[in-house]
Amino acid sequence: MKFVDEASVSVEAGKGGDGCLSFRREKYLEKGGPDGGDGGDGGNIYLVGHESLNTLVDFRFKPSYRAEKGQPGAGKDKSGPKGSDMYIRIPCGTSVYDETADILLGDVSKEGEKLLVALGGKKGLGNTRFKSSTNRAPRQTTKGEPGESRSLRLELKLIADVGLLGIPNAGKSTLISRVSAARPKIADYPFTTLVPNLGVVRIDNEKSFVMADIPGLIGGAAEGAGLGVQFLKHLSRTRLLLHLVDLVPLDESDPVENFHTIEKELKKYSEGIANKERRIVFTKADLLGARANDRAKELAMELGIEEYSVVSTVSGSGIQDLIHCIDDLLGHQKNSESSEGIHREVHEFSIRKRQERKSERNKRQRNEDEGQPIVSYEP
């Protein structure tokens, strides 16, 4: 199934049912009092988390939803039935935004968690409600109110314990395929990974953790260059980051420079994500053979780090030690901490980028209207 992590959805809650205008009419009772019933409330719309879903692709095919309206009241003081509530299933880890106001409505992060996104319209009142000692035959009723309607933007942030960072071809996809059942596309050219991948790493019969692989980052990623910036938000829910550093980069670049490039882009994107605990992992040790550990030690000294791992996903050396190291690091952490601040930071970054793109489009349009040359600064 195609991976989709953003979708726009329109929702409309049910309209309330109208109140009824009716008077009691029976044999030998020609002029009975009012007996018009109330209408029913409109149905609400809820988003519900489901762990079995891992993509928002379904919303590309069905982008609009409308709840059932309440039924009108009837004579003999009969109230109309309430409209049925609508429950829309979404993947756990989805943030829900009001697209018009650009505000966060809430996060759905657990199985069965519900988020009210559109409130049904209130019911209309029948004429029975308006009778009084001075008005014994009221002909007044009220109509049901329309339900709330909203344009929503859904953003899926994968829920994983460990997130993988690195430049393209640093070995992220190969690592996740080696330690889990995930089978991402692997090739010897940049940007092989186009969408995030999740894999469950099993330590024994009772212990496991989830690892997330996102497309590689390049310089200028925080400004929109490359592919990884589109998926950096998936790291906001991880507890630990693995920064993979290629000992022998395919393009013969400097590993230390590559490391600092990724760290710089991460800080530009989100201080919260940049401050997460991480482990440096030197990859492709098999290409250097016996010299791999010495080369990793040299790089670690240049980077100013003391603890790191050296692995080869081809030969498997260092893989089990890395898995147990990750398990220890996760075990020392407390339960998943609140990431509300990081979500807000990522949301503000997204708003700022959308505003910049909108401003650039408006500028281009003005230049076209005035016949001036079009100059674009988009990367």
Strand segments (E) across 54-161: 64-66, 86-91, 94-98, 103-108, 114-118, 149-156
Residues of the chain where predicted confidence (pLDDT) is lower than 70:
1-4, 159, 182-195, 216-231, 333-362, 364-379
Q: What is the DSSP string of 317-355?
A: TTHHHHHHHHHHHHHHS-S----HHHHHHHHHHHHHHHH
Which helix or strand (DSSP H or E) is residue 266 part of? Answer: helix 255-269
Would you state the pLDDT for residue 378?
41
The region, left, alpha or beta by phi > 0 then psi within -120 to 50, assigned to residue 256 is alpha
Other C-beta atoms within 10 Å of 188: how many? 7
Would you state the pLDDT for residue 337?
45
What are the phi and psi torsion angles at 113 (to 5°)?
-70, 135
pTM above 0.75, yes or no: no
CA distance 336 to 347: 20
CA distance 224 to 230: 8
Q: How do residues 306-365 score in pLDDT, each as one tens digit?
A: 889 998 888 888 889 988 888 888 887 654 444 444 455 555 555 555 566 566 666 766
